[in-house]
Chain A
Amino acid sequence: MSGAAGDIAVLGAGMHPWGKGGRGFLHYGTVAARAALADAGVDWRDIGSVVGADTVRGGYPGYVAGASFARALGWQGARVTSVYAACASGAQAIGTARAQLLAGLADVVLVVGADAAPKGFFAPAGGDRQDDPDWLRFRLLGAVNPVYFGLFARRRMAVHGETPEDFALVKVKNAAAGALNPYARYRTAVTAGEVAASPVVADPLRLLDICATSDGGAALVLSSMDFARRRGVIDPVRIRAVSTVTPVYPRTVLDLPDIATDSAIAADPPPELFRASIARAAYEEAGIGPGDLSLAEVYDLSTALELEWYEDLGLCAAGEAVKLLRDGATALGGRVPVNPSGGLASFGEAVPAQAIAQVCELTWQLRGVAGARQVPGARVGITANQGLFGHGSAVVAVR
């Protein structure tokens, strides 16, 4: 199903501000859910289905997030689903809700994701688990997430001639936008000098090139177009595509959590790389192209990775991302602002909430209520992210 025939309505969006609040993930998710319900004007007891994006933290309730949020909001007998896809969990939760709505299994669905992240590096689950590639990369190599970001960044320097100073400009841009966002954790401007003066984490990337781990929560109330009309909502923000594709064998770019790529001797590499295929699937489903975008929210786990997304989204050709950045095209006021929310650079990452928060930002931008960070006349937005073990997600929203 593509184009308007596959539309669902975004009736409500809500967040808990990102930070390190010292509360459990259920608190953040419940605050976000109540905010989204209030924004939608929908009573919780009228929600037909609740979809929770799982967190591996928070113990058992985190693994069964859908039911945990339903309990926190008050059991009311809704259909319930819990989904885990690492960084793409939130997008998969939205995809699940959308499938239920389009199939007629529910008229209105609550999607919630929240996390209470530990300080410092993310680490694998405990135990001695030699059958788990994620555990092995830590055990054998000390390959924490930032070292993969460092490898990508160094590779871009070698292939495209980019510099650490180029990367720093992404942080400067996103911090300027995040300073305008009341939900962001970091709300102050950052200079290139401050990036350069921050300690190296994974050469060539420094602390201010890499997103922090944060607490946070985000929620959406999604409905069928009929339900929205019955509620008198004539022109809602609509989700028109949710891409949830895997890579295609052989995957030839080293990525988390792998120790090696696939070998390309038995089959030629696919014509496009994984991240580009994530965006293409969303464009095809929505019946739009990069030229239609008013804005994009992408996973800037590192500054250098945001540049990669420009190319993967088709905003520019390979190797031209820095030119786009330096021209101001991706800043607020530019041709196609990227991360007008401030991005992960300003939020830090609350894993299962992040992809939902991206769609909250699209919703507010497309409604024209994003305040000082508003992209004028925004009509079409895309989100993009990538989850561990080959989960790829992008959401297209239109108005």
Chain B
Amino acid sequence: MVDGWFRDGGADGFVLLGTRCADCSAVFFPREDGFCRNPGCGGEALAEVALSRYGTVWSYTEGRYRPPPPYAVDPDVPWEPYLLVAVELAAERMVVLGQAAPGVTLADLVVGAEVEVVPGVLGDGAATWHWRPVGAAR
């Protein structure tokens, strides 16, 4: 769906890709390729970097209503609620939002619990990322 936001199949498995400023080391996701946004930096050299694969739940919610376009849904599949998880990455000191992997329910989530990033697909088959509680069944 979005070029360069994640990579699957490398030595580290599935990872989200951000960029890191060569001057101040700030990390950006979604990737920032033009100019560092740290007001005290001004750097222009941003290199691709894999984000931490594990994080902790900052918050979560379950959407019960179908979002409007451009959210992609398969019209042949009955609408089901979906979970969104905001995940705190300790190394990057940032929070990244994503959908929970299929099968994860509200009861599986708690603020502070460990989650990992896994590959996923959108309603139209496009690739994306999902968060899944560590230890949950695949």
Contact = CB atoms under 8 A, between A and B. Distances in A.
Contact of A201 (B28, B37, B40, B64): B64
B interface, by DSSP: helix, strand, loop or mixed? loop
A259 B95 CA distance: 8
Interface in A116-159: 120-121, 123-124, 126, 128, 130, 133, 135-144, 146-147, 150-155, 158-159
A261 B68 CA distance: 24
Q: Identify which of A152, A201, A203 gathers the most chain B CB atoms within 10 Å of its CB.
A: A203
B64 A200 contact: yes
Given A121-B67, A262-B94, A139 B72 contact: yes
A265 B26 contact: yes
A263 B52 CA distance: 13
Interface in A249-263: 249-250, 252-254, 258-263
A203 B58 CA distance: 15
B134 interface: no
A266 B84 contact: no
Given A123-B68, A252-B95, A260-B29, A150 B61 contact: yes
Interface in B19-50: 21, 24-30, 37-41
Size category of the B interface is: 35 or more
Given A143-B84, A267-B38, A158 B1 contact: no
Contacts of A151: 59-61, 84, 86, 97
Contacts of A124: 70
Given A140-B1, A155-B58, A260 B94 contact: yes
A100 B26 CA distance: 39
A136 B30 contact: yes
A266 B24 contact: yes
B25 A261 contact: no
Given A121-B68, A155-B58, A147 B112 contact: no
A335 B84 CA distance: 38
A205 B106 CA distance: 14
B11 interface: no
A203 B30 contact: no
Contacts of B21: 266
A49 B26 CA distance: 44
B94 A138 contact: no
Contacts of A126: 69-70
20 contacts: A121-B65, A121-B67, A139-B71, A140-B122, A141-B98, A142-B71, A143-B67, A147-B61, A151-B61, A151-B86, A153-B61, A158-B112, A199-B64, A202-B64, A249-B39, A254-B86, A260-B30, A260-B96, A260-B97, A266-B26
